Chain A
Amino acid sequence: MSNTKDYIIEAIKEKIENFEAEAKIESVGRVLKVSDGIALVSGLSDVMMSEILEFSTDQGIVKGVALNLEETQIGVIILGDYILVKEGAEVKGTGRILEVPVGEAMIGRVVNALGEPLDGQGTIKATAYYPVEKIAPGVIARQSVHEPVQTGIKAIDSMIPIGRGQRELIIGDRQIGKTAIAIDTIINQKGQNMKCVYVAIGQKESKIANIVAKLEEAGAMEYTTVVLAGSSHPAPLLYIAPYTGSAIAEYFLDKGEDVLIIYDDLSKHANAYREISLLLRRPPGREAYPGDVFYLHSRLLERACKLNKDFGGGSITALPIIETQAGDVSAYIPTNVISITDGQIYLEPDLFYQGNRPAVNAGLSVSRVGSSAQIKAMKKVAGKLRIEAAQYRELAAFAQFGSDLDEETKKKLERGKRLYEIFKQEQYSPLAVENQVLVFYALISGLLDDVEVKEIINFEKDLVNYVSLGQYDVLEKIKTSGDWNEEIEKSLAELINNFKKSRA
C-alpha cells in the first residue's frame, strides 16, 4: 500500500516538475451584443475566419466561431448555451481554426458536432484533431470509382449501383423510407471493410436513440460513429455537424481506408445555415437562403472521393439525404444537391402506399457511376432489370384498359410483376450480394415463372434460408471474386432447381 502511495506521490511530483508556466499574449475582445445564438464582439483585430473564440461566463468557458469579420466588430456563432454570454463579457481568441477530435476512439461512439461524447461512455482520447473545414482533394489525387458499396437493398444494388467514392443522393418526402435505406446500408457494411459515419442533423433525439439501438443490435456500432446535432441543439451546431462528420471520415481516408458517410438530412442543414446567415445580417436571396447556400453543400460533398494509390487508395462514399415537400424535386435546395451529387435515389409516395417498399422509383433514379460499381456477376444478372422494370410500368398502364394482349406482352407483364415483388424488401433485412445474384438469376432465367406472384416473397425467403443452411461453393465464389461464367451459371440453376424440388 505504501509502495503505491509513494509511486503516486512520485508521479505527481514528476508532473509538477515538468510543468512549464509560459506567458502567452492572447487577443482579447468584448461582447457588444448577444442574441439568438449570435454575438457581436469588438476588438480581436487579428482574429481569423472560423477561428475558435472563448467567451468567459459565470459557468465557465463557452466556445464560438468567428464567421463575420467586419470593420469594427466580429460576428460570432455561439457553440453552446448563448444565454450564459452577457454583454461586456470578455472574449479571447485561441489562434486555432475550428477543429474536432478524430481517431479510432470515435468508432462506436455517439458524439455532438464538437466531437464531445453524448453516450455516457466516458471521455474520448483523440488521436488527432482535424479541421472541420478543409479543401477537398484535387483532381490529381483522385481515381475513378470502380469498387461497389453493397447496400444490401435489391432495388438499389441492381439498378442504381453505388460505388466507393461516389455521392448518391437519397431524396423523397417525409416518412418515405430515406433513413431506412441509409441504416440498412450501414448494417450491410459488416465484414465489408468499411467504416461508417452517420450524421444526424436536426433529427428527433428519440429517433436517433432508436437508430443507435438498432445498429447496436445488428453489431454495426463496431464500425460506426454517430454525430448528433439534434433538433434541440442550437443552429450553429447543426451547421457544423456535417463538416465534423466529414473530418472524422477523413481521418480514416488518410489511412487508406474506405468510409461511408450519411448526412441525414441536408434540408435541415440548409435551414440552420439560413437561420445563422439571417441573424448575421447577411443579405437573403431566393427563399431567404444566403447567396452561398450552394457552396455550403458543394464544399461538403466534394470531400467525398476515391483517392488513387499514391494518396493511400482510400475513399469516402457520401449518401446525403434531402427531404422534399409534396414531391417537389425542382425546389431550390433539392436541385442544388442533385446537381452536385453523382446520382439520386428517388423515393415516391405512390409506390410507398401501394406497398412497394423501398419505394424506389427506378425511372427517376440514376447512378452516374453505373455498372462500374457492380461486380461482374451482378452486372450479368441485373443488367437488363432497369429496362424490364421500365417496360413493365408502361405495359401495366396500357393493360389497365383491359384489351386483348399478345403472348409476348403477357409474358413481360408476368415477369414485371415478379420483378416488382422481388424488389420489395423488409426494413433491417439487407441481402448479401451473392444471395441477390441468386435471386435475380432465378428471375431472369425464368425459374420463377411457375411461382405465383403472391408467393414470390415467401419463395425468396425460403430460398435464402435454404442456401444459408448449406455451404455452397458457387455463392462463396460470387462473394469473394464477383466472377461470372458458364460454370457458375450452371451451378446456380442446379441449386435453384434442387430447392424447388425440395419445396414441392
Chain B
Amino acid sequence: MKVSDSQYAISLFEATVGKSKKDLNKVVDNFFNILATDNVLNHWPKIAAEFRKKYNQANKIIEVEVISAKKMDSETKAAIEDRIKNDYPDATLEWSEKIKKSLIGGAIIRYNGQEINLSIENNLKKMSKHLVS
C-alpha cells in the first residue's frame, strides 16, 4: 500500500510529540531508515513541508510572510500583528520578510493560505482597470 507524504509527516509528528532531545534523535534516525527502506528518501522535502504544516497547526503557529518595497518598521509590524491576532488570538507568529522594489510602496501580507495585497503596484493595476471600465 502506498503511503502519502502527508501520512509520513503525520506519523513523524505523532512519534516526536513529548519526546526528549535524546529520544528525538533516535526517532528521526528510525524515520529516515523507514524512508530509505520504502525508497522514498527523495520525497523528504515534501514530507518536511507537510510536517511543518502539521507542527504549526498543533502548536498554533502562524507563519507570516511580508513582502514590502522597503524594510518594515516596528510600528507597522505591530499593527499587522494586532490585525492577525484579531482572527487568531492564541497564535504565535513567525515572521519572514522579503523586499520587492517593484511594489513601489505598501506591502503584501500572507498568512494561513490568505493574502492581503496593500501594495501601490496592486492599487495602480486596480485603478487602471477602473479608469478603462
Residues on B with C-beta less than 8 A from A92 are: 115
CB neighbors of B among A1-34 (8 A): 12, 15-16, 18-19, 21, 23-29
Residues on B with C-beta less than 8 A from A43 are: 113
**What count of chain B residues pass the 8 Å CB interface test?**
14
How many A-B residue pairs lie within 8 Å, measured between CB atoms?
Answer: 40
Q: For the complex, is A44 an interface residue (Cβ under 8 Å from B)?
A: yes
CB neighbors of A among B112-133 (8 A): 113-118, 123, 126-127, 130-131
A contact face: mostly helix, strand, loop, or mixed: mixed
A26–B130 Cα distance when bound, in Å, is: 19
Q: Determine how close the nearest CB of chain A comes to the CB of B120; give it in whole angstroms.
A: 9
The answer to whether A28 touches B114 (Cβ under 8 A) is yes
The answer to whether B127 touches A19 (Cβ under 8 A) is yes
- Asked whether A44 and B113 contact (CB < 8 A) given A15-B130, A15-B131, A21-B126, the answer is yes
Residues on A with C-beta less than 8 A from B4 are: 72
Q: For the complex, is B6 an interface residue (Cβ under 8 Å from A)?
A: yes
Of chain A, the residue at the smallest CB distance from B123 is A21
The answer to whether B130 touches A19 (Cβ under 8 A) is yes
Q: Determine how close the nearest CB of chain A comes to the CB of B7; give it in whole angstroms.
A: 10
The answer to whether B131 touches A28 (Cβ under 8 A) is no
Q: Among A15, A26, A45, A71, point to the contact of B115 (Cβ < 8 A).
A: A26
Q: Among A18, A19, A21, A25, point to the contact of B114 (Cβ < 8 A).
A: A25
Q: For the complex, is B110 an interface residue (Cβ under 8 Å from A)?
A: yes
**What count of chain A residues pass the 8 Å CB interface test?**
19
Of chain B, the residue at the smallest CB distance from A46 is B113
Q: Determine how close the nearest CB of chain B comes to the CB of A34; give it in whole angstroms.
A: 16
The answer to whether A24 touches B116 (Cβ under 8 A) is yes
- Asked whether A23 and B113 contact (CB < 8 A) given A15-B130, A15-B131, A16-B127, the answer is no
A16–B129 Cα distance when bound, in Å, is: 11
A16–B114 Cα distance when bound, in Å, is: 28
The answer to whether B115 touches A23 (Cβ under 8 A) is no
A29–B113 Cα distance when bound, in Å, is: 6
A12–B131 Cα distance when bound, in Å, is: 7
The answer to whether B126 touches A45 (Cβ under 8 A) is no
Residues on A with C-beta less than 8 A from B6 are: 71-72
Residues on A with C-beta less than 8 A from B117 are: 23-24, 26
Q: Among B113, B126, B127, point to the contact of A27 (Cβ < 8 A).
A: B113
Of chain A, the residue at the smallest CB distance from B4 is A72
Residues on B with C-beta less than 8 A from A21 are: 123, 126-127
Residues on B with C-beta less than 8 A from A26 are: 114-117
**Contact sample, A vs B, 8 pairs, CB 8 Å cutoff:** A15-B130, A15-B131, A16-B127, A18-B130, A19-B127, A28-B115, A72-B6, A92-B115
List residues of chain A with CB under 8 Å of any chain B CB.
Answer: 12, 15-16, 18-19, 21, 23-29, 43-45, 71-72, 92
